[in-house]
Amino acid sequence: MRYVYAVCRPLPGPLHADLTGVGGAPPRQLAHEGLVAVLSPVPARDFGLEPLRAHLEDLDWLAETARAHQHVIGALAAVTCPLPLRLATVFRDDSGVRAMLESEHGRLCRILDRIEGHVEWGVKVWLHAEAGGSASAESSSARSSRPRGAPASGRDYLRRRKAQRTAGEEATARAEVFARRLHAELARSAAASRQHPPQSPALAGTGSGLNILNAAYLVPRSYAEEFLELIGRTEGSQPGLRVEVTGPWAAYSFTDDTDDTDDTDDMEGE
Amino acid sequence: MTTASRLPDSYGQGGGTNLADVLERVLDKGVVIAGDIRINLLDIELLTVKLRLVVASVERAKEMGIDWWEDDPALSSKARRSELARENAELKQRLERLELARGDAGSESGSERDRDRGGEPERDRGSEPERER
């Protein structure tokens, strides 16, 4: 079977010889009608319908496969602007891939044109757990007449809990204002932008806090430094907030076949 | 031709890229093309929902203050609720679009779709807090 990673314009040369893909097989190019599919052979015992469905429930398998997929896309992104396909796009043989390139030709070309010369940067704003909880709660409990230490009574305990919660909500609100401004500014300097649902801190790793903004920006390669500088300027301006940048990614978040305006996805394309 | 070498060192693009970022893009973004092997796109969509739920173990989730399955209005904050509601709405919208797209893309596995549609774990959870009253 054929696992297809991405579709590209014809590449200037062969793929790196020791590049490996899903299952460890080296990817190769299949050119058809002015487009190139980058694919590698995968065994039917893993990528047939039933085994694939079972595998997808297995987080370890999924993680390994996702990383292998991204590894190939990342390598392609160094030499071209690949159009990444969703994980586990599998065909029986080369002719199936050719048929796809033919039938999807219009849509693929439109998206490729749009992402040409661009990369994707991910920008996330995190609110540290302490910023909402203990840190600001301390200042508000200092404001109240009671000294720190063990609560004197049940009522005192409840009052502190309330102060803590209020402080947390205030911190979240401030963080949201900051995130909105940052997003507006970055979106202005980008060719396109998308906001993704906030990430679960458990997935993102320990100690990351609350995810306030999770956005992606399509930025011309040549403009990367200026774009990152925009973000760098905000550094440290907001206590308790952390701005995290990931990338450059292939234009994963900009593969929908719609207009470029932010977050408008009312049409499915063709 | 490429300016990749001029770019600042990528932020953890190597082996250390965090799994959430990789999964988010590889599993959830990227162009959808109907391959010969039709894994139900709904399965994938539901999977990302499931991942969000499953990976947050109860203990960790409590630590983070995500408590929406606990039916305890006193512990929840408006901010969190609206965020969940937004995500919920977005996911539902996405499911709808996918179902539409599937309808177009040939419906060989119609019976499976019906079965899958029964799930909707997000909505079930979301509406729970009302129960207690």
Per-residue confidence (pLDDT) for residue A124, from 0 to 100? 93
Mean pLDDT of B10-30: 68
Contact residues for B110 (Cβ-Cβ < 8 A; gap 6+)? none
> Is there a contact between B23 and A203 if contact means CB atoms under 8 Å apart?
yes
Q: Is the pLDDT of residue A270 over 50?
A: no
Q: Please list every residue in chain A whose beta carbon sits closer than 8 Å to the beta carbon of residue B108.
A: none
Q: Please list every residue in chain B whose beta carbon sits closer than 8 Å to the beta carbon of residue A90.
A: 35-37
Per-residue confidence (pLDDT) for residue A143, from 0 to 100? 47
pLDDT in tens, A107-135: 999 999 999 999 999 999 999 876 544 44
Averaged pLDDT score across all residues of chain A? 85
Averaged pLDDT score across all residues of chain B? 57
Rounded CA-CA distance A163/A39 in Å is: 57
Closest CA to A55 of A68, A37, A71, A40: A68
Closest CA to B41 of B118, B81, B120, B97: B97
> Is there a contact between A87 and B44 if contact means CB atoms under 8 Å apart?
yes
- Strands of the A118-127 sheet, one edge to the other: A192-195, A210-220, A118-127, A241-249
Q: Which residue of B has its CA nearest to A216?
A: B25
Q: pLDDT band for position A138 (50/70/90)?
A: very low
Chain centre to alpha carbon of residue A206: 18
DSSP type of residue A46: H
Q: Please list every residue in chain B whose beta carbon sits closer than 8 Å to the beta carbon of residue A200.
A: 20, 52, 55-56
Mean pLDDT of A1-5: 96
CA distance, residue B96 to nearest chain A CA (Å): 11
Q: Which residue has the higher pLDDT, A33 or A57?
A: A33
Q: Please list every residue in chain B whose beta carbon sits closer than 8 Å to the beta carbon of residue A165.
A: 77
Q: A248 and A140 in contact (C-beta within 8 Å)?
A: no
Domain chopping of chain B, boundaries? 19-66, 70-109
Q: Is the pLDDT of residue B124 over 70?
A: no
pLDDT in tens, A156-174: 888 888 888 888 888 889 9
> Is there a contact between A252 and B25 if contact means CB atoms under 8 Å apart?
yes
Mean pLDDT of B87-95: 86
Least confident among A23-27, A63-67, A193-197, B119-123? B119-123
**Out of B13, B21, B47, closest to residue A56 by CB:** B47
**Out of B6, B21, B57, closest to residue A246 by CB:** B21
Bridge-based pairing of strands A28-32 and A35-41 is antiparallel
Best of B21, B48, B58, B86 to disrupt the A interface (most A CBs within 10 Å) is: B21
pLDDT in tens, A10-20: 998 899 889 99
